[in-house]
Amino acid sequence: MFKILTDNGADLDRAFLEKNDVGCMYLSTILEGKVIAGAEKDLPARDFYEMLKNGAKPTTSQINPEEAYSYFERHIGEADEFLYVGLSSGLSGTVGSVRAAAEEIMEKYPEKKIEVVDSLTGSPGEALLVYYAVTLRSEGKSLEETAAWVRENAGHVLLAITVDNLFDLWRGGRVSRSSAVLGSLISIKPFLIVDSQGKLQVTKKIRGRKKALCYLADYMEQHMGSYRERNRQMVMIHHGNVPEDAAFTEELLRSRFGFENIMIGNVGPMIGTHTGPSIVVVAFLGEQRIG
């Protein structure tokens, strides 16, 4: 059986990783020259977003080829085959680093095989692909079959995103300061997607938080296509530190679409550094991404 690997850009908790035998590489979050979250340091979402609220300006650091190589060296005895599903290349250079390391490792250990897949998404979208990879493996699919499915369906994992505070997007470089000031005055809430290149894009502006949360369901309605009939598909909701808004969204999706399988988690530092605590993201399978 092959080993599945991902990174903390997927924001999957340790319980899920351990239960499903999924390995994880860690990008680091750095504040004032010190690593505050990474492979050996857990930083609860509540504490991370409290730091942002108090003015902290952390940065994130991708996994470099040496770190990826070292990870493979430490874990190479766990399996003969590995599937790595990584954070979008549109958001981080980590996939490129892991691919370079995988090629070196396979030269050193020719009996080993490593498939590297760019998820072209992050947080719940990346997590959703990992979930389906785990499901396919449990069904007896091979490494090649699972990697092919993940590659083919990466473009069918859609994210519907909204944030409550435009100044968080301004600090993350997603909107101008003037847009943040004006938008806040009239209670504008941006709606974002991850486009076909795996990059965040603001595509709509909605007045009022509750309307913005409801639009997450509207967007799903518009873009699920034939996947809408598959009410047993997994849907993931990640939020920064707004559990009540995540719960509202979950109930909305269950009542509107009859989804039976919904997982809720937190958006970690890789995305949250740029969006702040008010982010709510829904990941689902649907039509091909736009943009």
CA angle 162, 164, 170 (to 5 degrees): 90
Domains, the chain, in order of start with CATH, read 3-27+62-154 (3.40.50.10440), 157-285 (3.30.1180.10)
Three-class secondary structure of residue 200 per DSSP: strand
Distance between the two ends of the chain, CA-based, in angstroms? 37
Instruction: Tell which residue, 11, 269, 15, 45, has the closest CA to residue 123.
Output: 11
Residue 174's pLDDT is 54
Name the DSSP letter for residue 289.
P
Q: Is 134 exposed, middle or buried (0-12, 13-18, 19+ CB in 10 A)?
A: middle
Q: Going residue by residue through the chain (291 aa), what tens digit of pLDDT does each one get?
A: 999 999 999 999 999 999 999 999 999 999 999 999 888 888 999 999 999 888 898 999 999 999 999 999 999 999 999 999 999 999 999 999 999 999 999 999 999 999 999 999 999 999 999 999 999 999 999 999 999 999 999 999 999 999 987 656 555 555 554 454 444 434 678 898 999 888 888 888 898 999 999 999 999 999 999 887 765 789 999 999 999 999 999 999 999 999 989 999 999 998 888 888 999 999 999 998 876
| Block residue for tokens 């109930």 | 251
- What is the distance between the alpha carbons of residues 158 and 285, in angstroms, rounded to a whole number? 6
Residue 181's pLDDT is 41
**What contacts 30, CB < 8 A, 6 or more positions away?**
36, 58, 59, 60, 61
Residue 183's pLDDT is 44
Secondary structure E strands in the chain = 3-7, 22-25, 28-31, 34-37, 59-61, 81-86, 113-118, 157-162, 188-194, 200-207, 234-239, 261-266, 280-285
Distances (CA, A) of 176 to 57, 180, 209, 274: 18, 6, 20, 13
Residue 185's pLDDT is 37
Contact criterion met (CB below 8 Å) for 204 and 191: yes
- What is the distance between the alpha carbons of residues 81 and 2, in angstroms, rounded to a whole number? 5
Contact criterion met (CB below 8 Å) for 31 and 25: no
83 pairs with which residues across the strands? 4, 115
Instruction: Tell which residue, 267, 286, 265, has the closest CA to residue 162.
Output: 267
CA angle 259, 265, 271 (to 5 degrees): 120
- Element spanning 26, H or E: none
